[in-house]
Structure 1
Amino acid sequence: MLGVLGGMGPLATADFLAKLVRATPARRDQDHIPTLICSAADIPNRASAILGRGPDPLPAMRAALARLETAGATRIAIPCNTAHHWHAALQAGTALPILHIVDAVADDLDASGLAGGPIGLLASAGTLRVGLYPERLARHGFTGLSPDPDGQDAVVAAIDLVKAGRVAEAALILEAQARALVAAGCRRVVMACTEIPVALSALDDELAGVMVDATESLARACVAACRADAAALPLVA
């Protein structure tokens, strides 16, 4: 039973669930992954906490995780990049395996045939501040490149626009920043905030071909892990 620690934000969680369904090879309802969702929208803002501008979200995330565990989840996904700053602390408090979104992205980059090099990062200020992506991507030979300061301010503003439901406005900003990273030499650009793929759902083929959707990477990793779990279960006579 997959447990989704969501609500960060709610629209991004809904996007993850849709991608989870689409990533599942299924011919009928029963082939899909049993899923429990906790859309804990009351969890304090993760980026604000990292930047010293808001309360610690860890207690609320731990409470949501406990609700999923009590309800019967056996594996956890968190469709929020910045929340993975607390991945180790959350994992230390549960025996349930918690998938890591950056590892899922790195696996997809490896599978694409890239042999290292610069990877563009469109992410929250908090995700960049804690070095969430560069540290793990480096294990696979990749380096992370983020927008210049003005560009990063624009990305943060666009993320806020998505949370406010102003998706079309956000898309224009984010597409411009993605193109700037490609022009700077990035062979792939990771949408490293789960609000960003919501805005960039319709791109021309050229740009779409270099974008990596962290939400989709996490969904695929969940499908692979849950199917492996199911295959390992003993047959019931």
Structure 2
Amino acid sequence: MVTEKIIGVLGGLGPWATVDLFEKILRLTPAQRDQDHLRIIIDNNPKIPDRSPAILGSGKDPTPALVATAVNLERAGADFIVIPCNTAHAFYGAIAAAVSIPVLHIMEEVASAARQLVPGLLRVGILATRATTAAGLYHRAFERIGVRVLAPDDAGQEKVTRVIYGVKAGRHGAEGTRQVRPVADDLIARGAQAIVLGCTELPFVLRPSDVTVPLLDSNLILAQAAVRVAMRRAEAASTR
């Protein structure tokens, strides 16, 4: 019997980003009928404390809630876990150590995809939460492949932060695009050969047509990785 791996989504960080990941997985799955789609277990847990204040030193530690949610996914039958929240990966070590199933790492997936999608990449611009940047999550992932990370200046970062929290509040319109696009343009002017949407809320307000270099959507890349891993078992079985 050909089987597929069950995807576990540690979601709610925030809920709109979880919806976006789910939709992208559906669109990436080669399905002609309901039964062709992948099984996905989603724990949409918006009660997990905000990751950014915790990293920046002023908020409650989200580690226990993140770990508990991951453990719940494993107990529910997930074969591996994805986390559609970049900032939450500051707590990746604790999450991965708490379960016996793989946990995909969004920064590693993005860095790997960037190397394939942008030949000769030397500098990449990152749009993310202040906490993601402060924690050096993308800096480490890209430094391992010899790519320099460019981050917004303080004024640009403040705009990005406002837009991210606006998306969390349901504001997905043109005003967010108007705020974020100049920040991306500034990174490009400083030499960025690609822009990473390093927050899973940002795909709601910035699209490839909005910038003049490749736009790397971390949620899309995570969805692609999830589908690839989930279907790997089925593909291997079908070739026997």
Corresponding residue for residue 17 of structure 1 = 22
> What's 1:228 paired with?
232
Does residue 79 of structure 1 match 2:113?
no
In the alignment, structure 1 segments of 5+ residues that lack a partner are none
SS at match of 2:102: coil
Contact 1:6 1:39 in 2 (8 A): yes
Secondary structure at the aligned position of 2:70 is classed as helix
- State the number of aligned residues: 233
* Residue aligning to 1:198: 204
Q: In the TM superposition, what whole-angstrom CA distance separates every residue of 1:65-114 from its partner, at most 9, and x where no partner exists?
A: 12111111111000000001111111111111000101111121121142
SS of structure 2 residue aligned to 1:137: helix
Q: Report the 3-state secondary structure (helix = DSSP H, G, I; strand = E; otherwise coil) of the residue aligned with 2:46.
A: coil
TM-superposed deviation, 1:232: 4.6
Of residues 174, 178, 184, the one that matches 1:172 is: 178
2: CA distance, partners of 1:233 / 1:64: 31
Displacement, 1:233? 5.7
Q: Write the deviation string for residues 136-193 of structure 1: whole angstroms up to 9, x where unpaired.
A: 1111121110111111111111111111112222221111211111111111000000
Per-residue CA deviation, residues 3-35 of structure 1 (Å, 9 max, x unaligned), is 000000000110011111112222222222110
% identity of equivalent residues? 41
Show the counterpart of 1:111: 116
The one-letter code of the counterpart of 1:52 is G
Match of 2:193 in 1: 187
Aligned to 2:167, which of 135, 145, 162?
A: 162
Distance 1:160 1:113, change over 3 A: closer
CA displacement, residues 177-227 of structure 1 (integer Å, 9 cap, x when unaligned): 1111111111100000001011224x536x265211000000001111111
In 1, are the aligned partners of 2:31 and 2:37 still within 8 Å (CA)? yes
Q: What letter matches 1:199 in structure 2?
A: V
Q: Check conservation: 1:44, 1:55, Cα contact below 8 A.
A: yes
Calculate the aligned-residue CA RMSD, in Å.
1.7
Instruction: Work out whether residues 109 and 222 of structure 2, in 8 Å CA contact, stay in contact via their aligned partners in 1.
Output: yes
What is the correspondence of 1:118-133 to structure 2 with a 5 Å cutoff? 118-133=123-138
1: CA distance, partners of 2:200 / 2:194? 17
2:77, 2:237 → 1: CA distance?
16
- Does the residue aligned with 2:47 lie in a helix, a strand or coil? coil
Q: Which residue is 1:211 aligned to?
A: 215
Cα distance change, pair 191–29 in 1 and its aligned pair in 2 (3 A): same
One-letter amino acid matched to 1:63: A
TM-score normalised according to structure 1 size? 0.93
Asked whether the 8 Å contact 1:91–1:98 carries over to 2, the reply is yes
Query: In the aligned structure 1, how far is the partner of 2:36 from the partner of 2:73?
Result: 22
Cα distance change on mapping 1:233 and 1:96 into 2, 3 Å: farther
